[in-house]
Amino acid sequence: MKCGGNWALVTGSTDGIGKAYAFALAKKGLNIILISRTTSKLQNVAAEIEEKHSGVKTKIIEVDFAKEDSTSYIPKIEESIKDLDIGVLVNNVGMSYEHPQELLELSSTYVDTLINLNIVSLNAMTRIVLPQMVERKKGAVINISSFLAAFPTPLLSVYSASKSYVDLISQGMAKEYSSKGITVQCVLPGYVTSKLSKIRRPSLTVPTPNAFVRSALSRLGIDSRTCGFWSHDIMTFLAEITPKSILVNNVYSQMKTIKAQALKKKQQAEKQK
């Protein structure tokens, strides 16, 4: 509520962490702008928020960051939010691999789509919303990176590199705009229960999106770079103290195992057809 605006904008807001941020910010009294690609899902989440949080307004904007060119969706978003004071921007939309793969096993189209979602959308949304925060000298930008941005991740190379971009640009922006009253926070989550992670049951190391976001939001304005959740902090600490060559070899071995399991499962599914 110190961010100066009465609206929060969340991309990728119909599932997982993005949806949890939308509800958590609505609970704090902010009106919510939801941006995602599926109108029906946007309408459902908006209705849920307004039903659960009396007095909170919602606005939905349908954008497919994967397929639409930024020159197309930027004017649409700018027009939709031109009269709204946005105090919080959550750049959450993104994607990973279907399963671990070597670089050349990915189509160029798939790589372009991943870059559009993980990098281009963040750049576009930040340039749309940040100017009004600078003018107001208040605001918060929350960029969702990944635990895998902290080190090279063989077989998820493009994903981890794209999330490393999110991490580094956030650190730079935090320094650039702190004197202008803007809080920039980079969140590097480990696994949470979601469609993206394909994990359904929560555990000590895999929280639900709601539990994760409650923890991460409590650090806004305190930590400019955070894993957001205590067990993810421990995982990052252990990764950072492990010699990089050993860490990368271990990660590579784990990813090869996951790839083999995914391919075996895929083959079994094809046989059953």
Active site residue 177: no
User: In which order are the strands placed within the sheet that holds 139-144?
Assistant: 58-62, 31-36, 7-11, 86-91, 139-144, 182-187, 225-226
Helices vs strands, H then E, count in the chain: 9, 7
Q: Of the listed 159, 177, 191, 252, which one is catalytic?
A: 159
For residues 68 and 42, the answer to whether their CB atoms sit within 8 Å is no
Give the angle 242-243-247 at the CA atoms, nearest 5°.
Answer: 70
Residue 184, beta-bridge partner list: 141
Helix 209-217 crosses helix 16-27 at what angle (to 10 degrees)? 50
* H helices present in the chain, as ranges: 16-27, 39-52, 70-81, 108-115, 121-136, 157-177, 209-217, 230-241, 244-272
Q: Which residues are catalytic?
A: 159
